[in-house]
Structure 1
Amino acid sequence: MGVSLTQESLAAVRHEVGVPSYDRRGLRPGILHIGLGNFHRSHMATYLDRLFEQGQAHDWAIIGSGVMPADVLMRRRLRPQDWLFTVVDLEPGAMSARVVGAMVDFVPVASAAIVEALADPRVRIVSLTITEGGYFLDASTGRFDSDHPRIRADAADPARPRTVFGMMVKALAERRAKGQPPFTVLSCDNLPGNGDVTRRSVVGLAELIDNDLAGWIRREVTFPNSMVDCITPPTTARERALVSRRFGIEDAAPVVCEPFRQWVVEDRFCAGRPPLEKVGVEFVDDVSTYEKMKLRILNAGHASIAYAAALLGYRHVHRAIADADIRDWLLALQKREIMPALEEVEGVAYPAYLARILERFGNAEIGDTVSRLCANGSTRQPKFILPAIRDALARGLPVEGLALELALWCCYCRVAGKTSQVPALSDPLSVRLRAGAREAVRDPRAFLEIHEVFNDLADSQKLQGAFARWLDIIDGQDARAAIRRYVAKG
């Protein structure tokens, strides 16, 4: 048995494990984070912990919160540990661990408690990791869905909100009524224009409740866009056992992640911010070029290998990327169709950025799974692949490889879970995707006409033709033959 993780037991933790040297009793809250999962803890919490180690910004500690069952479980696991958790950086051949102490509380998972915490004037930043699907977006337009039943319910009864955005609107109304300043809302989700998306959701709900309040929020609250990056797999019994065996810590909720981290944020904070630039965060005027780089190279890279890897029977990402055909397919798609359409980012060479991503994908210590990359394609493809297709079509650029990616996804949806070799389909539109993929055997348009995903892209004759040709090749031969043919086209 290792050391049970608590504030009192930190002195007994092995010397090779980093622990907070700052006095956690002197920390004061400044950030309330909604959706306290693994990514937040490997990313924002770790950056803040590093800052606190420098003796900086001790009035910016984190309060956790959330509205989902997973948040209830996380709170239950972290409370006996005094909100401490272990973060393990999975550097190949040089694994390291640190106990992160940046969190000082976790409010009960209840609307009234969360609103009370949001209304506390000490909270100057409200950050979010609620997943791409948590923003109440209309799938066909990408805009805020003001007709969503849960949004309508909050608008009808704003005193008892049930959504994250309803809680924020109520807390902002209370602050305004008391003459208190608002907070910044900082999305850390993997969404294009995540700050703009969050602003539309908060203001959109406020407009259904009180136009004057909506105007105040529009004028006074800031919603900076940000780009976040750190591959962080889920925690299972495997990770808990690793922390116990390798580092001698009994931690109910450790985090394992790659050692790479990047965070680029627009410097717009209405109530101040911690000086995170001291620990490597980049503050910029406009994050869009950084964001597009990451979404189109890293995230689209994950998407492009996911379905090929699944169809070829791979379970882990590092094994898939070691397959020369999959690696060559990813490189060819990026160099021919994705990177040529990107604007330059100052100080970044795209070939070097791509090479680093391939190294990260090949990190066997992470144990990242193909099934994770395949999940929720109906929300991920419209963020990572479809915008690249739209850009290419608008500029008259080729879409052959992008169409092949869609064909691989279609074929995966058709066979997912039918054997133990291919991961099961995990998607909010799974029934619709399966039906469209099966019908595509007869009529390829049937998959592209899933309006919730593709909207008007089904009308593109150029995309239709390429998609149909690749389906024929995959169905007539297999996925390997298709990606080899694309690579061989040169």
Structure 2
Amino acid sequence: MTIKLSSESLTHLPSSVAAPKYRRSDLTPGILHFGVGNFHRAHQAVYLDDLFNAGIDRDWALVGAGVFEGERVGRDKLASQDFLTTVVEQDDGHVQARVTGAMVDFLVPGDSAAIIRRLADPAIRIVSLTITEGGYFIDPASGKFNPEHPAIVADAADIDRPSTVFGMILAGLKRRRQAGTPAFTIMSCDNIPHNGHVTSDAIIGLARIADDGLADWVRENVAFPNGMVDRITPATTDRERAILADKFGVEDNWPVFCEPFRQWVLEDNFPAGRPALEKAGVQFVDDVSPFELMKIRILNGGHATIAYPAGLMDIHFVHEAMQEPLVRAFLAKLERDDIIPTVPPVPGVVLDDYFELIEKRLSNPKIGDTVRRLCLDGSNRQPKFIIPTIADRLKEGAAVEGLALESALWCRYCFGTTESGAKIAPNDPNWDRLLTTARAALADPAAWLAMEDIYGEVGRSPVFVEAFGVALKALWRDGTRETLGRYLEGGL
């Protein structure tokens, strides 16, 4: 028999499932969060839940928000269980389930009027974001905010009726300015280098188009701390719901399964106040840059390294990819030869030890993370996780053969079929374009690198163009396995 998750059932949970140690009626909201997905509920919400369990800062509860119609499905699932979430941490030697209650409301996604009203509420002192790497209106080639995006232009023309997340935030700030209410802090929790600066560029860039005076006020009054976040959190499927019901006796519409490891490094720049997150394990530093560069290049770059060869080999789960000797060896060689040498020293961290931890995390068989998830959205992820490393290697005059092979594997994946001939379902917002370009690259590899908005100067480097061409032709001539084997044995 299972217990359906709700506020009423919290006192009846099985003994194997930890319940909140606080009365949720004692919580008051202090943070509005855009992008209520699995990562947020396994990361920021868990840190806050830890604080609330310790009797600390219960005026910093979460209110969820979203801008897309598709987010209503998740909102309705959570609303039906009083915004509670079961978080299951597991690896080979550890399984633990807990119910978190840090979220007290979730506004209807796309209801800009309701969201703006809540943003104007003085109780909201932090607005946080997990809107994915592709949600910041960044031009991939330049790495800068694109003020000419049609959605941004539309919001700037009528900032009181916005449709984007940045338009809603700016409309909320506009009301606070008019009312004499102090500004809130805006905290990105996405995997983007200098995510605070990127968010600042988007908000102020939009404001500059709409109202110079408002832009100046935002620049002078709003803080945008940089941060690095980390926890492997795959998507929820019927598999996870069934495991939770069978092993723990809890029926949850949208549980989160994740690894035990979690990390959060933040700049301490919160003029409107913040919860005492350091008491829950958050590391506050003066400069997040070394930590975020380490994570983005070694972990996220590592994700991309194993994703595409595994996808082409029809491997389903990430831990299965790590069990494939060719994939695991490719990851280790590319990391140690090409990626880690581009990462500057990080305070208190031995980079080789950090990579060994990542190998262990990626090998966790209990998470059920999928290769397809790692392959997702390469057009946004490659320019952030891989191409800057290539650029640094080229500047140093260092070898780029391994990175060219990674890029060629992405191109081969975007051709739309695996090595077995199985069709790859669309897996990128720009899939049609990538599919067309990958097919053109079959005859002319340089066509792939000519995607200026993705590759920029890297795509014009004769050294990289040559290395990429050699790698792509090898993949088509010899297949993924033989090409990886030759690279590992000494070169293509």
TM normalised by structure 1 equals: 0.97
- Which digits, 9 at most, give the CA deviation of each residue in 1:19-60, with x for residues without a partner? 011121111111000111111000000010011111111111
Partner of 1:64: 64
What is the match of residue 87 of structure 1? 87
Residues in 1 aligned to 2:160 and 2:343: alpha-carbon distance in whole angstroms = 45
Preserved CA contact (<8 Å) 2:419 2:479: no
Tell me the CA shift for residue 257 of structure 1.
0.8
1:33 aligns to what SS in structure 2? Answer: strand
Alignment match, 2:144: 143
Equivalents in 1 of 2:255, 2:118: separation in Å? 25
Instruction: Go from structure 1 to structure 2 and tell me whether the alpha carbon gap of 1:89 and 1:421 turns closer, same or farther (over 3 Å shift).
Output: farther
Q: CA deviation at 1:421?
A: 4.6
Q: Deviations over 1:379-418 (max 9, x none)?
A: 1100100010011111222111100101111111114369
Aligned partner letter, 1:50: D
Question: 1:303 aligns to what SS in structure 2?
Answer: helix
Paired residues for 1:168-179 under 5 Å: 168-179=169-180
**2: distance between equivalents of 1:428 and 1:200?**
23
Q: Retained in 1: the 8 A contact 2:314–2:420? A: no
Runs of 4+ that moved beyond 4 A: 417-422
Distance 2:436 2:210 in 1: 39
How big is the shift at 1:216? Answer: 0.9
Question: 1:401, 1:235 → 2: CA distance?
Answer: 33
Residue-by-residue CA offset, 1:235-268 (whole Å, 9 max, x unaligned): 1111111111111111111111111101111111
Aligned-residue RMSD, C-alpha: 1.4
Q: Distance in 2 between matches of 1:461 and 1:31?
A: 49
Partner of 2:301: 300
Structure 1 window deviating more from structure 2 (448-457 vs 184-193): it is 448-457
1:104 aligns with 2:90: no
Residue 332 in structure 1 maps to residue 333 in structure 2: yes
1:67 is aligned with what amino acid?
V
Mapped to 2, the partners of 1:416 and 1:349 lie a distance apart of: 39
Amino acid at match of 2:386: I
**Number of equivalenced pairs:** 490
Runs of 5+ unmatched residues, structure 2: none
User: 1:321 and 1:233 mapped to 2: Cα distance?
Assistant: 16
Q: Give the corresponding residue for 2:117.
A: 116
Q: Distance in 2 between matches of 1:142 and 1:314?
A: 32
Cα 1:243–1:70 shift into 2, 3 Å: farther
Change (3 A) 1:246 1:70: farther
Answer yes or no: is the 8 Å Cα contact 1:310–1:412 preserved in 2: yes
Distance 1:157 1:415 in 2: 40
Aligned mates of 1:175, 1:328 — CA distance in 2: 54
Distance across 1 between alignment mates of 2:119 and 2:465? 48
Aligned residues: percent identity? 51
User: What is the CA-CA distance between 1:108 and the residue it aligns to?
Assistant: 2.2
Partner of 1:320: 321
Q: Structure 1 residue 129 and structure 2 residue 126: aligned? A: no
Preserved contact between residue 91 and residue 365 of structure 2 (Cα < 8 Å): no
Per-residue displacement from partner, 1:69-120 (whole Å, max 9, x unpaired)? 2321122111121111100002224311000011111122200000011111
Supply the distance in 2 between the matched residues of 1:217 and 1:357 (Cα, whole angstroms). 38
Q: Specify the code of the residue in structure 1 equivalent to 2:359.
A: L
Cα distance, 1:431 vs. partner?
A: 2.0
Partners of 1:49 and 1:100 lie apart in 2 by: 6
How far apart are 1:419 and its partner, in Å? 5.7
Q: CA deviation at 1:423?
A: 3.7
Alignment pair present for 1:250 and 2:251: yes
Deviation larger for 38-47 or 394-403: 394-403
Query: Secondary structure at 1:269's aligned position in 2?
Result: coil
Q: Distance in 1 between matches of 2:366 and 2:171?
A: 44
User: 1:93 & 1:356 partners in 2: Cα distance?
Assistant: 15
Partner of 2:157: 156
What residue number does 2:26 align with? Answer: 26
Deviation at 1:420, TM superposition (A): 6.9
Question: Offset of 1:469 from its aligned partner?
Answer: 1.2
Alignment of 1:78-477 (within 5 A): 78-109=78-109, 110-416=111-417, 421=422, 423-477=424-478
Distance 1:418 1:480, change over 3 A: closer
> Aligned AA for 2:151?
R
- Partner SS, residue 98 of structure 1: strand
- Separation in 2, partners of 1:231, 1:299: 11
* Matches of 1:339 and 1:418, distance apart in 2: 30
Q: 3-state DSSP class of the match of 1:345? A: coil
Q: What is the aligned partner in structure 2 of residue 35 from structure 1?
A: 35
Distance (Å, rounded) in 2 between the aligned partners of 1:312 and 1:71: 32
Post-superposition offset of 1:190: 1.2
SS in 2 for 1:67: coil
Q: Deviations over 1:312-353 (max 9, x none)?
A: 221111111111111111111011111111101111111111
Residues 40 and 132 of structure 1: CA distance in aligned 2, closer, same or farther (over 3 Å): same
User: What is the alpha-carbon distance in structure 2 between the residues aligned to residue 55 and residue 23 of structure 1?
Assistant: 10
CA distance in 1 between counterparts of 2:183 and 2:312 reads 49
Q: Partner of 2:16 in structure 1?
A: 16
Name the CA distance, whole Å, in 2 between partners of 1:92 and 1:193.
34
Determine if contact 2:308/2:410 at 8 Å carries over to the other structure: yes
Distance in 1 (CA, whole Å) between partners of 2:240 and 2:27 is: 29
* Cα distance in 1, alignment partners of residues 34 and 318 from structure 2: 29
CA distance in 2, matches of 1:158, 1:422: 43
Deviations 1:353-397 (A, max 9, x none): 111111111111111111111111111100100010011111222
Is contact 1:61-1:103 (8 Å) kept?
yes
**In the alignment, which residue of structure 2 is the partner of 1:75?**
75
Q: Give the counterpart letter for 2:164 in structure 1.
A: T
Give the Cα–Cα distance (whole angstroms) in 1 for the partners of residues 487 and 93 of structure 2: 35
Shift of 1:450: 1.4
Q: Is the 8 A contact 1:90 1:259 kept in 2?
A: yes
By how many angstroms is 1:465 displaced? 1.1
| Contact 2:90/2:260 (<8 A) preserved | yes
